[in-house]
Copies of this chain bind each other. A is one copy, B any other.
Amino acid sequence: MDESEFLAGYDPRDFPPVAVTVDVVALTIRENALRVLLVERGEPPQAGRWALPGGFIRPGEDLPEAAARELAEETGLTPRVHIEQLASYGAPGRDPRMRVVSISYLAFAPDLPDPRPGSDAADAAWHRADRLPALAFDHGRILADGLERARAKLEYTPLATAFVGETFTISELRGVYETVWGVVLHAGNFHRKVLSVPGFVEGTGETTESGGARGGPRAKLYRAGDARLLHPALLRPAREEEIR
């Protein structure tokens, strides 16, 4: 039997039915807090519970494409969003309907407009990452994995620049680190460190129009540089409990 004969006699229904979904952990910073986009389920199962935006992949659609589509359906947003694969979850019974394998994606964006709920959602909103409701299915675990990934990537990639606008001040950038990591950083040391990492940021020659809301001089504006990795990295303050 050659390859074309084999394919002709092949019946996809021979395989046990598995549904594949994508779920998106979309993060942004709003009102000085790290926030994640959640939708309130309008249909069973788990109607009324908050969940990650997501849904079944469509025929002919690539996985990142599906993730971007699901995100767009909930937020109406496409541009300026960094999206990357997070992990996959496929424990039997994680969805009561049938065997569902979910590929999760992580998305980062600067302050976004309020979401508008899609067709099968009752509501959609940006929730503070530090005050989350109980989530549907195993979405709590997916979200926790996404947060940890984001925190880790801040250390060794220029990811923080995805949370701010086209141009930004060093203080705004520091705010991203402080908000995502949940720590307070030393302004002076942070400033020097960021400028010393090659390709992290580049100056625009411009400054802010006015000083800070509570005083202070105008700050220089920067844009993201061309580095894909930060070297040396900006490490989080030592986390003894995670080492052992």
- Name A residues whose Cβ lies closer than 8 Å to a Cβ of B: 1-3, 6-7, 10, 12-13, 15-20, 43-47, 56-63, 85, 87-92, 96-99, 101, 103, 198-199, 226-229, 231, 238, 242-244
Q: What is the CA–CA distance of A99 and B63 in the complex, to the nearest angstrom?
A: 12
Partner of A45, one of B7, B18, B45: B7
Q: What is the CA–CA distance of A244 and B158 in the complex, to the nearest angstrom?
A: 11
Q: In the complex, which residues of chain B have a beta carbon less than 8 angstroms from the beta carbon of A10?
A: 97-98
A243 to chain B, nearest CB (A): 5
Known contacts A57-B18, A85-B87, A103-B90, A243 near B199 by CB under 8 Å: yes
12 extra interface residue pairs, beta carbon distance < 8 Å, beyond A3-B45, A231-B243 = A7-B45, A10-B98, A12-B98, A16-B56, A18-B20, A59-B99, A62-B91, A85-B88, A101-B101, A199-B244, A228-B242, A228-B243
Q: In the complex, which residues of chain B have a beta carbon less than 8 angstroms from the beta carbon of A62?
A: 90-92
A–B pairs, 7, beta carbons within 8 Å: A17-B17, A59-B99, A61-B92, A198-B243, A199-B244, A228-B243, A229-B243
Residue of B nearest to A198 (CB): B243
Q: In the complex, which residues of chain B have a beta carbon less than 8 angstroms from the beta carbon of A228?
A: 242-244
Residue of B nearest to A92 (CB): B60
Interface on chain A toward B: helix, strand, loop, or mixed SS? loop
Q: How many copies does the complex hold?
A: 2
B15 & A17 in contact (Cβ 8 Å cutoff) = yes
A96 & B7 in contact (Cβ 8 Å cutoff) = yes
Residue of B nearest to A155 (CB): B156
Q: In the complex, which residues of chain B have a beta carbon less than 8 angstroms from the beta carbon of A91?
A: 62-63
Q: In the complex, which residues of chain B have a beta carbon less than 8 angstroms from the beta carbon of A1?
A: 44
Q: What is the CA–CA distance of A5 and B195 in the complex, to the nearest angstrom?
A: 60
Residue of B nearest to A1 (CB): B44
A63 & B45 in contact (Cβ 8 Å cutoff) = no
Known contacts A16-B58, A88-B88, A228-B242, A47 near B3 by CB under 8 Å: yes
Q: In the complex, which residues of chain B have a beta carbon less than 8 angstroms from the beta carbon of A19?
A: 12, 15, 18
Q: In the complex, which residues of chain B have a beta carbon less than 8 angstroms from the beta carbon of A56?
A: 15-16
Residue of B nearest to A101 (CB): B20
